[in-house]
Amino acid sequence: MHHIQKITFKGEYQEAKKLLINLRFKDQISELAVRILLLKVYFEIQDFDLLDALIDSLLVYLRRGKLLSYHKENYYNIIKAVQKLNAHNFYDKEEQAKLKEELETMQPLTERVWLLEMLERR
């Protein structure tokens, strides 16, 4: 999986997408980590149909899975933040400031740095 993370950091999203789609793990945390990487790839390449479908499947996976509450809350927060970024009006500076503050204070949120980067980049 380290190889895939290197690919996504270098911006080779199509290659990462191909690798991530077929990866499956028995433990839930690894499975969710792969799905979050795939979510980031879809967001980066602006494939919003696949992003929405992945979010729907992640929500079902989280509802069915038996995760510790911290992990479950973290993944729900990541999904909520991505949905807000996706629906965000980037021309409204006041709305952007509110979203930035929300992302900075949301707990737990392991993808905070990436989410803030996506907010600034758009």
Query: What pLDDT, on the 0 to 100 scale, is given for residue 116?
Result: 97
Distance CA 22, CA 33 (A): 14
Kindly list the structural domains of the chain, giving each domain's residue range(s) and its CATH number in brackets, ordered by start: 2-121 (1.25.40)
| CB-CB contact of 38 with 23 (8 Å) | no
| CB-CB contact of 49 with 57 (8 Å) | no
Place of tokens 């690894």: 30
Please give the chain's pLDDT, 122 residues, in tens.
554 455 455 567 777 777 777 767 788 888 899 999 999 999 999 999 999 999 999 999 999 988 888 899 999 999 999 999 999 988 999 999 999 999 999 999 999 999 999 999 87
Query: What pLDDT, on the 0 to 100 scale, is given for residue 12?
Result: 76
Query: What pLDDT, on the 0 to 100 scale, is given for residue 11?
Result: 65
Rounded to two decimals, what is the model's pTM? 0.83
